[in-house]
Structure 1
Amino acid sequence: MEKFLENLQKAEKTINTCDHIVYVTFPLIKDKNLLLKVFTETKKGIGYCINAILQYEYLYKRIKLFKNPKINLRTFQEKCSIRYNITKQENNLITNLFNLAENHKKSSMEFMRNEKIIILSENLETKSISIEKIKEFLILAKNILEKSKNKILR
């Protein structure tokens, strides 16, 4: 099976699981770790969609791929997003999500306060992620998955 199809399937499975956890499981359990897992998995799902698009475009020789993921993300945003009807706002949200995930990975500590995850960086700078923000990222992931499936599988 083609690599881009595998990535689309992984993205769909990941995003559907995150959707279930956010709307069914989290309201019952209200666990910080569950919210963090949904956040990281949503980022992973969007990453799978982006990889599927990049591999599909590379297969048809429309773009070049690089070993550096940041260059590939820039290639996606500059060359591929227009073809897949991904708006500037969606690109900004993707960048925001990836930056927050990077901050979380580098953070020394995180805790939950009033249904928000507070990420504390090394220099004691705080970033917060609310359930509403995670739902916004999840809606973004669903939109990108739908747009990529419509273009690739047509």
Structure 2
Amino acid sequence: MEKFIQYLEDAQKKIKAIDHMLYVTYPLVRDNRLLLKVLNESKIAIANCINAILQYEYLYKKIKLYKDTKSNLQTFINKCSPRCNITKEEIKLILDLFELIEKHKTSPFEFSKGDRIFILSETMKQESVSLEKTKQFLILSKDILKKTQNYLKSSF
């Protein structure tokens, strides 16, 4: 099986799981840490979509891949995203999500207050995660998956 197909299937499974977590599990348990899990899984799903597109483009010699993930992300943003009809706003949201997850991973301290989770940086600058923000990133994940599927289907 081609690598890009595997990435696409993995993204579909992740999005189905995070949709269930957010709309079924979260209302029952009301644990805000679940929001961080949904964000992390959304990032993985979007990364799988990006990797599927990059692998497909590389397979058909449209782009060159690098060992550095940042270079590959720039290749995706500059060359692949226009072909897949991924807008600048969606790219900005993707980068925001990746940055938020990176802040979460490097954060020395996080706390929950009300229906939000606050992530503090080394300099005590705070970033908040709410249910609405999490839903926005889930919708973004679904949109990117649809555009990836449409692009790959139209190319066959």
TM-score, with structure 1 as normaliser:
0.97
Equivalent residue, structure 2, for 1:121: 121
Equivalent pair of 2:35/2:129 in contact (CA under 8 Å)? no
Equivalent pair of 1:32/1:111 in contact (CA under 8 Å)? no
Q: The residue matched to 1:112 in structure 2 has which SS?
A: strand
Q: Give the RMSD, CA atoms, in angstroms.
A: 0.8
Equivalent residue, structure 2, for 1:73: 73
Equivalent residue, structure 2, for 1:25: 25
CA shift, 1:144, in A, is 0.5
- Please say if 1:139 is aligned against 2:139: yes
In structure 1, the gaps of 5 or more residues are none
Q: Report the more deviating stretch, 29-38 or 84-93.
A: 29-38
Percent of pairs with identical residues: 55
CA shift, 1:97, in A, is 0.4
1:22 maps to a residue whose letter is: L
- Please say if 1:59 is aligned against 2:69: no
Q: The residue matched to 1:128 in structure 2 has which SS?
A: strand
CA shift, 1:153, in A, is 2.7
Q: Report the more deviating stretch, 1-10 or 62-71.
A: 62-71
Equivalent pair of 2:109/2:121 in contact (CA under 8 Å)? yes
Structure-to-structure mapping, 1:2-21, within 5 angstroms: 2-21=2-21
Equivalent residue, structure 2, for 1:43: 43
Q: Give, in whole Å, the separation in 2 of the partners of 1:124 and 1:45.
A: 29
Equivalent residue, structure 2, for 1:151: 151
Equivalent residue, structure 2, for 1:86: 86
**1:43-88 deviation line (CA, Å, top 9, x unaligned):** 0000000000000001111111111111111111110000000001
| Stretches (4+) displaced over 4 A | none
CA shift, 1:114, in A, is 1.9
Q: The residue matched to 2:127 in structure 1 has which SS?
A: strand
In structure 2, the gaps of 5 or more residues are none
CA shift, 1:32, in A, is 2.3
Q: Give, in whole Å, the separation in 2 of the partners of 1:76 and 1:93.
A: 15
TM-score, with structure 2 as normaliser:
0.96
